[in-house]
Amino acid sequence: MTTDPTRRDPYAGFPGRIGRTFADSEPSWPPRTTPGEKAPNIVVVLVDDMGYSDIGPFGSEIATPTLDTLAEEGVRLSNYHTMPLCSPARAALLTGLNPHRVGYSMVANSDPGFPGYGMEIADDIPTLAELLHDTGYATYAVGKWHLVRDSASNAADDRENWPLNKGFDQYYGVLEGLTSLFHPHQLVRDNSPLDIDEFPDDYYYTDDITDQAISMVKSLRAHDPDKPFFLYLAHNAVHGPLQAKAEDIARHRGRYDEGWDVLRTRRFAAQLAAGLLPPGTELPDRNSEAGFDVPAWDSLTEEQQRLYARYMEVYAALVDNIDQNLARLTDTLEALGELDNTIIVFTSDNGGTGEGGLEGTRSYFSRFVHHPALPGDWTPDVDRDPGLIGGPRSLVHYPRGWGMASNTPFRLYKGHTYAGGVRVPFVLSWPRGAREGLLAPGVRTQYQYVTDIAPTLLGLAGLERPAERRGTPLQEPDGISFTPVLADPDHVSTHPEQYCEMTGNRSYYRDGHKLVTLHRPGTPYDDSEWALYDIRTDPTEIHDLAAERPDLVKELSEAWEAAARRNGVFPLPDGTGALARRNPAEQRLARPLTLLPGTPELERYRSSRLVSLRSFEITVVVDRTGEGVLVSHGDQGGGYSLYVEDGRLHLAYNEYGVLHETDAGPLAPGPHVIALAATAGKGLRWSFTVSVDGEVRATPPSVHQLIGMAPFQGISVGIDRKSPVSWPLFERHRSFRYTGTLRSVTYTPGAPGPDSPEAVAAALKQAAAAFE
């Protein structure tokens, strides 16, 4: 008998018996996949940009009673290291592989066209969620994802790298790296962006994602009393822009008036008292490296001190709120009888940040711009009523002096391979595990790395990582389980050496010694930039041993080169601007685009391709006049909108927080063609012209272009959704849906401006040709 491979025998492999009737047959059911009777639940709480000293168990004055309890009953890793930036850290945490191997050399906002920047987790690299799901776990993710490239975060994407295709049963949150905590720019549930016009006035994103997580757990227990779950709760807080609830800010009012120098000294003393650092550890001087330096608090004016203290009050409120929400989650687990057998991990993706600059900002997207030709009149801050700081109308970030304090006692910041960028708090709690001797509560000073988390959690759950999955051999992990370290405080580190690289900053750790660079972009990569520290006795990296130990510098630098080659680190960033490069296939996104009424909001990155660093024209066809917003693009951090109010046409332009209103005259009843033309000029400026039926109605003064991450909210037709471009208009009419008949809105992208990457590259090419 020949076997037809396209027609499987329906009875093959059935362990029961098949007769002609039910009476002649014996049934059998496939076994249910379960991870074991005592399999623990697993909760990973990942905070964004939190420094080493920002929670109570690591020296903070901020009240974090929930974390205090978890730390007291669990384990604190005081020598835990992560990656310097978020997407690479998240890839390493969820896969157990070094992030360059996974394709995350950088945050998921670039596409230079090399393997280390692929920003896609391959099928032979399973995530922790996939491995746990395969064994019978329910798997949930809420909050920040940032493992899908910005250009693939829209509703037309194949979603291959979205959470549900990486092992999670359910997801709720924001795919990108940051958002407004009062008006999230694009919430996604499972595989679908949500079409939201307005949020309630009391909406707060950190509360929302916690509500969603709690709901997922409650629903699971209502439907299945036994199934264990993995919850990945990834906060967008405390990433900028810093926004907190008024009642949380009020609790911290006045607490930071003494400044960052006093705060740093107090936190360091608390860390020493807690045994987090070896005896004899020194607190470094304030960061003094060019571009990262911090002034003495006492050198600031009283006005600066008052303003800067307000920023830190908002930051403290964010941390406070995270702990409050963690309490709500643990209370739910307690009420369900689940807390005892739940592993809870709390940590940060990278260290505290210096991106707020020397002075901080009330205009986050203006400060966040990275462009080689910023004009002299560019303003990285805007004036704001102090009462607005931290609220939905201000997008603030603290000065890097507070970032230095967040990273106490370490040097430098997020993005750096010095300790300030990579040493973060780490707490692990598991009451049942402690009772059964699987972890001994207390502090661990052993070096461990972010890639160790996945194998450790698998080990604690009694599971092994398979060699293959669904017939595909798996890539070997780089992380090593530290379960022996959890059980035995005297056990040696399970992770004896590790390379690191981020935007050219490099390091190599081996058995207590760390070779590290602070790389200046565009400068050569050579051995002269290496510094060497013995972090067993000098964890704050003060005493450079490179001159004394050239042999060890050579040995570790060669080890770094070998590891970089093996892990796909090359090519390294240089002065060519390659990180700004995009896939040529994206050029199709600069074609004219017509949006019809009822079109859901266009995603941020897709919207930006129509206007960023170029001239453009918007044509609005109205069949019947009415009141309301015709088109809007952006939010309180920057944007523009055309609207009709009291029969008059208006242009609102929000220049990174500074609102410009232009009255373009009456709009008579009947059909109209309204045009907004933007001409990109030198100095990163736009000149606008508003026309109605071919008649020029207004030519307001030129304004700075919205570039970088602005406008952050995408294009909406016939409404201004969520965070408004014009707050006064929002106060009068909320989202102000258009009441007339709108036929279409067409964007026609024009030529790149003189400061666009294309224009700069062309000029450099012409200059080079002149010398050939």
Q: Print the SS3 string covering 366-414.
A: HHCCCCCCCCCCCCCCCCCCHHHCCCCCCEEECCHHHHHHHCCCCCCCC
Residues 423, 563, single domain; the answer is no
Smallest Cα–Cα separation from 714: which of 602, 593, 613? 602
Give the residue from 495, 518, 534 where a domain finishes. 495
Smallest Cα–Cα separation from 427: which of 481, 348, 312, 355? 348
CATH number at residue 680: 2.60.120.200
Measured CA angle at 186 (ends 181, 192), to 5 deg: 135
Residues 262, 406, single domain; the answer is yes
Residues 611, 742, single domain; the answer is yes
Answer yes or no: is 22 within a domain: no
356-359: which pairs have CB atoms within 8 A and are 24 or more residues apart?
356/240, 356/311, 356/397, 356/398, 356/399, 356/400, 356/402, 356/403, 357/397, 357/399, 357/400, 358/293, 358/294, 358/295, 358/399, 358/400, 359/304, 359/308, 359/399
**Residue 598 identity (one-letter amino acid):** G
| pLDDT averaged per 10 residues, the chain (length 772) | 82 96 96 90 98 98 98 98 98 98 96 95 98 98 97 95 98 98 98 98 98 98 97 98 98 98 98 97 98 98 98 98 98 98 98 97 93 90 93 97 98 98 98 98 98 98 96 97 98 98 97 97 90 98 98 98 98 87 92 98 98 98 98 98 98 98 97 98 97 98 96 98 98 98 98 82 45 33
At 127, is the secondary structure helix, strand, or coil? Answer: coil
- Residues 292-314, buried b or exposed e (16+ Cβ, 10 A)? bebbebeebeeeebebbbbbbbb
Residues 407, 361, single domain; the answer is yes
For the chain, the C-alpha Rg in angstroms (whole number) is 28
What is the strand order of the sheet 497-502 is part of?
497-502, 505-510, 513-516, 531-534
- Residues 26-58, buried b or exposed e (16+ Cβ, 10 A)? eeeeeeeeebeeebbbbbbbbbbbbbbbbbbbb
- Alpha-helical (H) ranges within 274-301 are none
- Dist CA 166 CA 160 (whole Å): 8
What are the catalytic residues? 86, 146
Contact indicator for 350, 424 with CB cutoff of 8 Å: yes
Query: How far, CA to CA in Å, does 587 sit from each of 148, 182, 241, 350?
Result: 20, 33, 30, 34
**Residue 292 identity (one-letter amino acid):** F
- Dist CA 463 CA 130 (whole Å): 13
CATH number at residue 555: 3.30.1120.10
Give the orientation angle of helix 205-223 with respect to helix 302-335, to 10 degrees.
Answer: 10
Bond preceding residue 43 cis, omega within 30 of 0? no
Answer yes or no: is 410 within a domain: yes
- Residues 164-200, buried b or exposed e (16+ Cβ, 10 A)? bebbbbbbbbbbbbbbbbbbbbbbbeeeebeebebbe
At 659, is the secondary structure helix, strand, or coil? Answer: strand
Residues 553, 690, single domain; the answer is no
Q: Give me the pLDDT at residue 759, please.
A: 67
Q: Give me the pLDDT at residue 757, please.
A: 75
Residues 315, 422, single domain; the answer is yes
- Dist CA 380 CA 401 (whole Å): 17
- Alpha-helical (H) ranges within 536-579 are 550-567
Smallest Cα–Cα separation from 505: which of 525, 478, 533? 525
Domain count, the chain: 3
Smallest Cα–Cα separation from 753: which of 690, 683, 659? 683
Q: Print the SS3 string covering 170-193.
A: EEEEECCCCCCCCCCCCCEECCEE
Contact indicator for 661, 726 with CB cutoff of 8 Å: yes
Give the total residue count for the chain. Answer: 772
pTM of the model: 0.97
Answer yes or no: is 573 within a domain: no
Q: What's the burial of 728, exposed, middle or buried (CB within 10 Å: 0-12/13-18/19+)?
A: exposed
Residues 442, 536, single domain; the answer is no
Answer yes or no: is 279 within a domain: yes
Give the residue from 495, 511, 546 where a domain finishes. 495
Query: How far, CA to CA in Å, does 261 sit from each of 49, 208, 273, 281, 404?
Result: 20, 35, 19, 17, 9
Query: How far, CA to CA in Å, does 248 sit from each of 204, 240, 385, 390?
Result: 12, 17, 19, 10
Report which DSSP code applies to 585: G
Contact indicator for 249, 158 with CB cutoff of 8 Å: no
Instruction: Mention every residue, 6+ apart, whose C-beta is less than 8 A from residue 694.
Output: 673
Residues 483, 541, single domain; the answer is no
Bond preceding residue 701 cis, omega within 30 of 0? no
Contact indicator for 563, 586 with CB cutoff of 8 Å: no
**Residue-number span of the structural domain to which 646 is assigned:** 587-759
Query: Of all helices (H) and strands (E), which one includes residue 70?
Result: helix 65-73
Answer yes or no: is 768 within a domain: no
Smallest Cα–Cα separation from 368: which of 414, 300, 316, 411? 414
Q: Give me the pLDDT at residue 83, please.
A: 98
Residues 534, 464, single domain; the answer is no
Give the residue from 495, 527, 545 where a domain finishes. 495
Contact indicator for 685, 377 with CB cutoff of 8 Å: no
Answer yes or no: is 166 within a domain: yes
The first and second tokens of residue 194, run together, are 């949500």
Q: How many Å separate Cα 539 from the centre of its chain?
A: 27
Answer yes or no: is 32 within a domain: no
Residues 453, 542, single domain; the answer is no
Bond preceding residue 571 cis, omega within 30 of 0? yes
Residues 470, 507, single domain; the answer is no
Widest Cα–Cα separation across the chain: 93
CATH number at residue 252: 3.40.720.10
Residues 240, 135, single domain; the answer is yes
Report which DSSP code applies to 542: -
Answer yes or no: is 577 within a domain: no
